[in-house]
Amino acid sequence: MKKRGQVTLFIILGILIVAAVVLVLYLRGQLFFGPVTPDNLNIKMIPIKEHIIKCMQEVSPQYIEQIGLQGGYLATPTDTYRMWDNETVSYLCYNIKKHPICYNRMLTKAHMEQELENSLELGLAQCIDISKFEGKGYDIVYGKRKSTVEIGNDKVIVTVKMPITIKKDDVSITEDEFTANFNYPLGRLYNVAQDIVDVETQYGEFDQLTYMLMKKGQYIINKQRPYPDKLYILKTKDNPYIFQFFIEGEST
């Protein structure tokens, strides 16, 4: 019985030692240990960067996809859109009474970028929380956040400009920008939409079959005619992303 009690005691001591080691390892991840160097501070910056980029990856796609489904606009004022499959799809060309042609609403890429930036600011404000990284043996100072969006041909680049400084004693490091790329051909489909609108403003009818052949099958253009309008649904051959919009027609 005495030997059995000793064995039990050793087992308990072993468990306590293991628990102590695990606790120390955990605390080393939460608090600051060791010499203060830029490299050590950079290690502390990694989870902050990961947190910001994760928020960007969670928030950005919904707005980029929505702006495609809504014809290049996130804000859709009255009389600028038509409901289609529960989406507010914008008119990119307005009807000219008693004429087959329409007049261009003049959607620009800069306008889309601005609308995306405005919406991202609101979404990221609900996600990014730097305060949860504070109180771990070092100081964090961060400035005002600003989101920028660049629409490329096959990707949308989102950048969060937010100076974050980690410092301890006389050592500090700073990160100013955080970037995430999203593989959406918004820029290319916007260009196709502009080609369509240009033809509709000059001739009043766009031949999508000829255009698709001319572009060697790079694009899929689905043209529908929900009276009295025309609906164009655009995709690239290698990406499911959709850009759709209406050309306003005239009731007869």
Residue 252 placed within a domain: no
What is the Cα gyration radius of the chain? 28
| pLDDT for res 134 | 85
pLDDT at 153 over 70: yes
Are residues 81 and 136 both part of a single domain? yes
pLDDT at 75 over 80: yes
pLDDT at 227 over 90: yes
Residue 137 placed within a domain: yes
242 closest CA partner among 200, 185, 199, 197: 185
Q: Estimate the share of the chain in helix, then strand, then coil, as percent rounded to the nearest 5.
A: 40, 30, 30
* Candidate from 15-24, 81-90, 151-160 with smallest mean pLDDT: 15-24
Are residues 131 and 195 both part of a single domain? yes
Are residues 219 and 133 both part of a single domain? yes
Are residues 62 and 132 both part of a single domain? yes
Residues 71 and 115: their CA atoms lie apart, in Å, by: 12
In this structure, are residues 186 and 151 in contact, taking their beta carbons and an 8 Å threshold? yes
Looking at the 3D structure of the chain, how many domains does it have? 2
Residue 143's CB: how many other CB atoms inside 10 A? 12
The pLDDT tens digits for 53-64 are 999 999 999 999
Are residues 167 and 99 both part of a single domain? yes
The pLDDT tens digits for 107-150 are 999 999 999 999 999 999 999 999 999 877 888 998 999 999 99
| pLDDT for res 14 | 60
In this structure, are residues 166 and 172 in contact, taking their beta carbons and an 8 Å threshold? yes
Mean pLDDT over the full length of the chain: 89
Name the burial class of residue 112, with classes exposed (0-12), middle (13-18) and buried (19+) by CB atoms within 10 angstroms of its CB. Answer: buried
| pLDDT for res 56 | 97
Where residue 198 falls (left for φ over 0; alpha for ψ -120 to 50; beta otherwise) is alpha
Which residue range is the domain that position 17 belongs to? 1-30
pLDDT at 204 over 70: yes
How many residues are present in the chain? Answer: 252
Are residues 89 and 193 both part of a single domain? yes
Task: Tell me the pLDDT band of 4, cut-offs 50, 70 and 90.
Answer: low
Sign of CA dihedral 78, 84, 87, 90: negative
| β-pairing verdict for 156-168 and 171-182 | antiparallel
| pLDDT for res 40 | 84
Residues 79 and 35: their CA atoms lie apart, in Å, by: 64
Mean pLDDT of 181-188: 98
* Candidate from 32-41, 58-67, 197-206 with smallest mean pLDDT: 32-41
| pLDDT for res 123 | 95
H helices within the chain, ranges in order?
2-30, 38-69, 109-125, 186-202, 208-214
| pLDDT for res 202 | 96
pLDDT at 25 over 50: no
Mean pLDDT of 56-85: 97
| pLDDT for res 10 | 59
Query: Amino acid letter at 46?
Result: I
| pLDDT for res 22 | 43
Residues 68 and 168: their CA atoms lie apart, in Å, by: 46
Name the burial class of residue 7, with classes exposed (0-12), middle (13-18) and buried (19+) by CB atoms within 10 angstroms of its CB. Answer: exposed
pLDDT at 96 over 80: yes
Q: How far is CA 125 from the centre of its chain?
A: 14
Task: Tell me the pLDDT band of 225, cut-offs 50, 70 and 90.
Answer: very high
Are residues 142 and 226 both part of a single domain? yes
Q: List the structure tokens of 39.
A: 């490299």
Task: Tell me the pLDDT band of 6, cut-offs 50, 70 and 90.
Answer: low
pTM of the predicted protein model: 0.84
Are residues 10 and 55 both part of a single domain? no
